[in-house]
Amino acid sequence: MSLPTPLLMFIVQRHAEQRIWAHLAENGFEMTPAQGRLAARVDEGGSRLTTLAEAAGVTKQTAGFLVDQLERAGYVERVPDPTDGRARLVRIASRGRAAQACAREMEQRIEAEFAEHLGPRRTRELRRALEALREVTDPYL
């Protein structure tokens, strides 16, 4: 039975995500997938809560709840927005940067395993195809 391409991509993505979550937990970084998906959308210089909510596809209230949890766990911090004295930015804190580094470690391991399985030519082709699909699927490109 031939599976549809979107389902095949989902299966591979789910495999990678599960391994990354397990690796984070093994290294003492406990967070829910919802928290992690929101934290992954925090820009380098910080993000406003409304921007995070929109990027994550959740309400501002849900984003605020997740940020509160992440802040209590030390993954993010709220800081004044230098462009607007009334606003605050959500920024990745040092524990969050450590968690990101841990996740990147597993991402690299998974990518190396995929490359070993596919070989150099097919790995390059896969990457090019996925980058081309991102052009039509990623509104934050």
Q: Is the pLDDT of residue 52 over 90?
A: yes
The average pLDDT across 59-77 equals 97
Domain shared by 85 and 133, yes or no: no
Q: What is the pLDDT of residues 90-112, one digit of tens each?
A: 999 999 999 999 999 999 999 99
- What residue type is 137 in one-letter code? T
pTM for the predicted model, two decimal places: 0.87
- The 3-state DSSP class for residue 141 equals coil
Please, which pLDDT band fits residue 72 given cuts at 50, 70 and 90? very high
Q: Containing domain of residue 20, as a range?
A: 1-30+96-141
For 129, phi then psi, to 5°, come to -65, -45
Residue 89, classified by CB atoms within 10 Å of its CB into exposed (0-12), middle (13-18) or buried (19+), is buried
- What residue type is 12 in one-letter code? V
Domain total in the chain: 2
Do the Cβ atoms of 72 and 32 come closer than 8 Å?
Answer: no
Q: What is the pLDDT of residue 133?
A: 95
Q: What is the pLDDT of residue 127?
A: 96
CATH number of domain containing 35: 1.10.10.10
Q: What is the pLDDT of residue 84?
A: 87
Q: What is the pLDDT of residue 86?
A: 87
Domain shared by 19 and 36, yes or no: no
Q: What is the pLDDT of residue 118?
A: 98
Domain shared by 71 and 105, yes or no: no
